[in-house]
Chain A
Amino acid sequence: MNRLYDMEPRVMDDEMLKLAVGEQGPRDEARQLAKQEGILFKDVLSLQLDFQNILRIDNLWQFENLRKLQLDNNIIEKIEGLENLTRLVWLDLSFNNIEAIEGLDTLVNLEDLSLFNNRISKIDSLDALVKLQVLSLGNNQIGNMMNIIYLRRFKDLRTLSLSGNPVAEAEDYRTFICAYLPDLVYLDFRRIDDHMKELAEMKHQCSVDELKHQESLMQAQLEDEQARWEELEGHKAAFVEHLNGPFLFDSMYAEDVEGSQLSHLPGVGELVQTYKDKFVIVCLNIFESGLKQQEKRKAELDTFMGCVQEAVQEKQEQGKHKIAKFEEKHLLTLSSIQDESELTNFEIKMAEHSEDITELVNVLVTLEMQLVEQLEETINMFERNIIDLVGLFVENVQSLMAQCRDLENHHHEKLLEIAISTREKIVKGELDEDLPDAVRPLFVDKDTIVNAVGASHDIHLLKIDNREDELVTRVNSWCAHLVDKIHKDEIMRNRRRMKEINQYVDHVQSELDRLECSDLLD
């Protein structure tokens, strides 16, 4: 604020941060260590930067693990540069010159936010702060009571301060807040007593109830949408989305200008209707078989995963058991080696123990190799089965799609017949009904009408082909991707395990070596 303007604004540079970190770091003996080693910014949990005359927040991106940040009593004008501080729980920006709430969208863990004594006039942009418990907005310029309603979305909000704002001067300020934020416990540093709550409820019950009603409607709508979205996702996972209805059929006619024009011909309307009914039934067939196949694939995958899990678990238990046994012996041997004074005995024991270690490695690696072989076989089997399943599904879909095409061909023939007969009638002037103007040009000559019908037919076939292609491509790529992932996962697992074994053995060996060294030193 103004009082600090007589000083030069400072930049948040490395030096300032290092100083602050150094000062606020560990105390006493630990400080010595910290100095010795230096502290990485990313290990810092809490940082205090008050009264530094900071104008712009900057250079904080390294503090990934920061939990508490104090930037109060500076001259900051804009909230920025905090995007990386996603673990932040406590943020103090009081006594600055901030005018708008912004730049907090990544701080999802924030529980305590202080913006006391700034120039904020509107509460918003806090949507991401779902865990917010304490919000301090006193001494700002918030003038509209409706800002309070925005705060209803924070279910954990218990403490709020708004005193010193224009809103706080309103007569029913306290009751209004208590009514609209019933879970609030402290307002303006004072506990809300039951009496106040009752009063607030009496005063604002009507409007609050209305608001609640609206909110619940919104909520229901959201849930509804969510449910629909989830259903669609499920269908997509089965690769048969939009096949449980006339969507495909409708899309065939959506881009088909001629088709819709032709449907005005006498008798075509009925024809299209029966065609549509039949078509939709086939689509539904595809849809259902798709869901069924999806179930089957899922069950297959689950069984496979379960079996793999079991096999891995078993080997793991065996390995753990071996290691536990070894560890027991290892400790005993180490202490006995340590106590050994005779050099020859010492060496013998060292050699023996080295052998033990080698044997442990062998055992562990053998277990792992066995597992790899077993899993490879299982994975191959699964791969065959899943490919078979997918093939079956594709075949089924293709045959059903062929039915669709047959229907289309049939429809096309009928349509062509009607079109030609209509044209003949037109030529003979026998046509009773009036045709829409847009359709008339089609009947100029025979080629035109045949072409028009043919174009409609082509579009329909194209749509059907496209849908089929899309389905087949996606299911195949899903299958390939799955198999690929399983192989990769297995390789990764194997590498991790080998690394783990090596690491452990290295550790054990190093313990032994250290003993040797220390002994030699003695």
Chain B
Amino acid sequence: MEVLKEKVEEEEEAERAERAEKMMRPMEVRKEDTTRTQEMLRDLERKLSEIEVSIPEKPSTFTKDAIDTSKLPLSYQSNTPKEEHLLQVADNFSRQYSHLCPDRVPLFLYPVNECNVPKFVSTTIRPTLMPYPELYNWDTCAQFVSDFLSAVPLPDPLKPMVKEEEKAPPKKYAVKPPRDLTSRFEREQEVKRQEGVKAEEEKRLKPGERLAEQESAKTDPLHGLRVHSWVLVLSGKREVPESFFIDPFTARSYSTQDDHFLGIESLWNHKNYWVNMQDCWNCCKDLVFDLGDPVRWEYLLLETDKPLLSLTEEEDDGTNDDDDAENLGKEDEDKSFDMPCSWVERIEISPEAFETRCPNGKKVIQYKRARLEKWAPYLNNNGLVCRLTTYEDLECTKILEIKEWFQNREDMLELKHINKVTGLNIDYFKPGHPQALRVHSYTSMQPEMDRVMEFYEKVRVDGLIKREETPRTMTEYYQGRPDLLSYRHVNFGPRIKKLALNSAESNPRPVVKITERFFRNPAKPADEDVAERVFLILDERIQLRYHCREDHLTASKREFLWRTEGDSKGNKIIMMPDMCLSFEVEPMEHTKKLLYQYEAMMKVKNEEKLARHQAWESELEVLEILKLREEEEEARALTISIYDTKRNEKSKEYREAMERMMHEEHLWQAEAQLDYLAPFLAQLPPGEKLTRWQAVRLKDECLSDFKQRLIDKANLIQAWFEKETQELQKQQQWYQENQVTLTPEDEDLYLSYCSQAMFRIRVLEQRLNRHKELAPLKYLALEEKLYKDPRLVELLKVFV
């Protein structure tokens, strides 16, 4: 076998937090992934709730040095006794394994984490449920994880870190792949939750990585040697019909038959670890993912076996004990040993981080001859969220085409497709553009060039679907008009040189020919329902073709030619028989009349005027749209949902204003409740009824106290005022004394001090005056209030 390494991933309950930080190690080490799905969860919901997504912050800081291990929780830095026990079990298992299968790559069992502590891979997974509906199903979750992670190549594409080496250099290997693994886990978890898969499987992939293979499939000397880890989703729960793989980097799902996956070494989830004992000569196509089959999948811990065997049972944990005896011979230590809880912290993803998705909101993925860039919404001020650039050559120097996706654009631009070879630009719009634009393809924003505009015709009053332009023609397609016009084609002649420059508004191109087509109007007889009319404007000719009757082969035609010159006698010709040539399917008497023909001709001449006017209006509209588009491109305004309370300035202001009002009201209420009498009442013996004498005293005391306070306040202001004045005088004195020796800076300083001091003095003066004015009023107000106080009112009545 070409099997390189075995990596097991547990999918079910991935621990996102860890992955971000600790899982990475293990992952790096392996490089190959094996995914395993276990459904050990009792209820789907629980699992669901446990699903987690990887941490956003980490990706950006993924060098070993960047992680401050001292701040990590204790569980990261040490092993619990149970974990130690597990490590011993794993070590034993690994030794037996290498003894029995000396040819195979050592198992990826307990890589070191960021704190250089060896951790069993299964314990790095912690199922978590995230509060985002997008993370509930595997596809969108996988998408998120793939966005969230960025790949950093391993130092050695063939070797992930081996367990044995954990202790020494784990940090070096810390790479991003682990995150990927976690992401897969997450996806798997989601899927599993969905499926409610019970059985978990371990898979080991041979080192062949899909991505690597794709890029240089034929020339890759490492083909079959590369390692990778990915997610396996087992069938059974949440309506998953059959098992499949998810690649965490691309978020794509693959059949287990896919050629890109060359083999599987091992498989793990948060409950157990399985080693693949099947031959991978035919990639993964012949693998059987029945993890309960001990011949095909060698398990590490005993308990979890049974559940796997019986795919239909959800919770097999309990039942395992019975069978332990059989397996004792193999792995005595494992007997009745439970997988310890995950040591990883719970993953928290803030809404901001979730929206940002990629590290720093930005991600670049390089493909063979293509580059994909992603941004978080609102990160770019033009609303750009995604750009795909394809290149002609492998070195990515010659751009073939660029596709840019936008979000939240005010002009509803959704996708911009630029073909660098042909120079063709195609803009796609979502419904809601002010001109109902749907697609706009053009090579130049100059008018009268090749361009196609498509519209949301239901929004447009004139029912225009599409307008195609070439330098000399304009073709419009309509739908749903009351006049049943379906098509208008205008041929322009060369512009006649005039004084005005190339502005189409002042000097429209002459119209040579207008062709209009109509749908059948069932209300009219076919012979009177025009199907097509052609205005040959230069020839002064109008051709009409009518609709074909239902049971006929031929349609009526009529052609009008008019001559403006007079006849031989110089009389003006009104109508001559040869000015109207018609072919009628069923000749009618009244249509032979010159009068009828004359009237028809007049009518159709009016229609020609109208058609020309409409053609002119269409030209104007094109100019208008082009102008609007230019403005929109420059403005790059983005829309903000009214539900987006963080970005929506208006709603934010409103909310803040509301809060402020609430706050003020609260203050006011507090003030209103201030009890002036409280301090004085407190001096009286409690619980006794006031006597009138006491009440009067109370009132007087209160008032005199208030008076004193007013006077104190006035004095205080006075004191400040005097202090400031003195200070100013002092400064002035000093200035006059030293005026001669002062530097300009000092002088400036002095002058600014003076102006400030004057300001302060003025304010103090105002406050003093105001206080003097208001103090008697305040005093009276308090007195009045006291008279009305419910506690005193009865007793003071006499005096009022």
Chain B contact-residue range equals: 10 to 19
- Distance (whole angstroms) from the CB of A492 to the closest CB of chain B: 11
Per-position 1/0 for A150-178, Cβ under 8 A of B? 00000000000000000000000000000
Judging by beta carbons under 8 Å apart, are B554 and A30 in contact? no
Instruction: Please report the C-alpha to C-alpha distance between residue A500 and residue B551 in the assembled complex, in whole angstroms.
Output: 11
Interface membership of B574, Cβ < 8 A: yes
Interface membership of B71, Cβ < 8 A: no
Judging by beta carbons under 8 Å apart, are A37 and B553 in contact? no
Judging by beta carbons under 8 Å apart, are A26 and B552 in contact? no
In this complex, which of B552, B553, B594 has the most chain A Cβ atoms within 10 angstroms of its Cβ?
B553
Chain A contact-residue range equals: 20 to 34
Note all chain A residues with C-beta closer than 8 A to B585: 500, 503
Interface membership of B548, Cβ < 8 A: yes
Chain B residue at smallest Cβ distance from A309: B551
Known A30-B595, A33-B594; judge A316-B575 contact (CB<8 A). Answer: no
Instruction: Please report the C-alpha to C-alpha distance between residue A504 and residue B548 in the assembled complex, in whole angstroms.
Output: 13
Known A29-B574, A503-B585; judge A493-B595 contact (CB<8 A). Answer: no
Judging by beta carbons under 8 Å apart, are A37 and B574 in contact? no
Note all chain A residues with C-beta closer than 8 A to B594: 33, 36-37
Per-position 1/0 for A98-128, Cβ under 8 A of B? 0000000000000000000000000000000
Known A32-B574, A320-B548; judge A37-B595 contact (CB<8 A). Answer: yes
Interface residues of A in 1-49 (CB under 8 A from B): 26, 29-30, 32-34, 36-37, 39-40, 43
Judging by beta carbons under 8 Å apart, are A33 and B598 in contact? yes
Instruction: Please report the C-alpha to C-alpha distance between residue A49 and residue B92 in the assembled complex, in whole angstroms.
Output: 121
Chain B residue at smallest Cβ distance from A506: B583
Known A29-B574, A43-B590, A503-B585; judge A323-B595 contact (CB<8 A). Answer: no
Judging by beta carbons under 8 Å apart, are A30 and B598 in contact? yes
Judging by beta carbons under 8 Å apart, are B553 and A30 in contact? no
Judging by beta carbons under 8 Å apart, are A33 and B574 in contact? yes
Interface membership of B722, Cβ < 8 A: no
Instruction: Please report the C-alpha to C-alpha distance between residue A324 and residue B590 in the assembled complex, in whole angstroms.
Output: 28
Note all chain B residues with C-beta closer than 8 A to A297: none
Interface membership of B599, Cβ < 8 A: yes
Per-position 1/0 for B585-602, Cβ under 8 A of A? 101001001110011001
Instruction: Please report the C-alpha to C-alpha distance between residue A43 and residue B552 in the assembled complex, in whole angstroms.
Output: 27
Judging by beta carbons under 8 Å apart, are A493 and B551 in contact? yes
Per-position 1/0 for A305-336, Cβ under 8 A of B? 00000001000100110010000000000000
Note all chain A residues with C-beta closer than 8 A to B593: 37, 43
Chain A residue at smallest Cβ distance from B543: A331
Judging by beta carbons under 8 Å apart, are A500 and B599 in contact? no
Interface membership of A415, Cβ < 8 A: no
Note all chain B residues with C-beta closer than 8 A to A30: 574, 595, 598-599, 602
Note all chain B residues with C-beta closer than 8 A to A493: 551
Interface membership of A481, Cβ < 8 A: no
Note all chain A residues with C-beta closer than 8 A to B575: 29, 33
Interface membership of A88, Cβ < 8 A: no
Chain A residue at smallest Cβ distance from B553: A319
Instruction: Please report the C-alpha to C-alpha distance between residue A37 and residue B592 in the assembled complex, in whole angstroms.
Output: 11
Note all chain A residues with C-beta closer than 8 A to B548: 320
Note all chain B residues with C-beta closer than 8 A to A236: none
- Distance (whole angstroms) from the CB of A36 to the closest CB of chain B: 7
Judging by beta carbons under 8 Å apart, are B553 and A316 in contact? yes
Per-position 1/0 for A482-513, Cβ under 8 A of B? 00000000000100110011011001000000
Interface membership of A283, Cβ < 8 A: no
Set A29, A316, A496, A503: member contacting B598, Cβ < 8 A: A29
Instruction: Please report the C-alpha to C-alpha distance between residue A365 and residue B599 in the assembled complex, in whole angstroms.
Output: 37
Note all chain B residues with C-beta closer than 8 A to A184: none
Chain B residue at smallest Cβ distance from A511: B581
Chain B residue at smallest Cβ distance from A504: B554
Instruction: Please report the C-alpha to C-alpha distance between residue A320 and residue B549 in the assembled complex, in whole angstroms.
Output: 11
Instruction: Please report the C-alpha to C-alpha distance between residue A493 and residue B598 in the assembled complex, in whole angstroms.
Output: 34
Chain A residue at smallest Cβ distance from B599: A30
In this complex, which of A34, A39, A319, A500 has the most chain B Cβ atoms within 10 angstroms of its Cβ?
A500
Judging by beta carbons under 8 Å apart, are A500 and B553 in contact? yes
Per-position 1/0 for A390-407, Cβ under 8 A of B? 000000000000000000
Instruction: Please report the C-alpha to C-alpha distance between residue A26 and residue B553 in the assembled complex, in whole angstroms.
Output: 36
Instruction: Please report the C-alpha to C-alpha distance between residue A36 and residue B596 in the assembled complex, in whole angstroms.
Output: 13
Interface residues of A in 284-315 (CB under 8 A from B): 312
Judging by beta carbons under 8 Å apart, are A316 and B551 in contact? yes
- Distance (whole angstroms) from the CB of A486 to the closest CB of chain B: 16
Set B551, B553, B595: member contacting A504, Cβ < 8 A: B553
Instruction: Please report the C-alpha to C-alpha distance between residue A39 and residue B598 in the assembled complex, in whole angstroms.
Output: 14
Instruction: Please report the C-alpha to C-alpha distance between residue A507 and residue B590 in the assembled complex, in whole angstroms.
Output: 19
Chain B residue at smallest Cβ distance from A28: B574
Judging by beta carbons under 8 Å apart, are A323 and B599 in contact? no
- Distance (whole angstroms) from the CB of B161 to the closest CB of chain A: 75
Instruction: Please report the C-alpha to C-alpha distance between residue A320 and residue B602 in the assembled complex, in whole angstroms.
Output: 31
Judging by beta carbons under 8 Å apart, are A500 and B552 in contact? yes
Judging by beta carbons under 8 Å apart, are B598 and A323 in contact? no
Nearest first, the 10 A-B pairs at minimum CB distance are A319-B553, A507-B583, A29-B574, A504-B554, A33-B595, A33-B594, A34-B595, A320-B553, A33-B598, A33-B575
8 new A-B contacts, CB < 8 A, other than A316-B551, A493-B551, are: A30-B595, A30-B598, A39-B595, A43-B590, A316-B552, A319-B553, A503-B587, A504-B553
Q: List 23 A-B contacts (CB under 8 A).
A: A26-B599, A29-B574, A30-B574, A30-B599, A32-B574, A33-B575, A33-B594, A33-B595, A36-B594, A37-B593, A39-B595, A43-B593, A312-B551, A316-B553, A319-B553, A320-B548, A323-B553, A493-B551, A500-B553, A500-B554, A500-B585, A504-B583, A507-B583
- By a beta-carbon cutoff of 8 Å, the part of chain B in contact with chain A is 548, 551-554, 574-575, 583, 585, 587, 590, 593-595, 598-599, 602
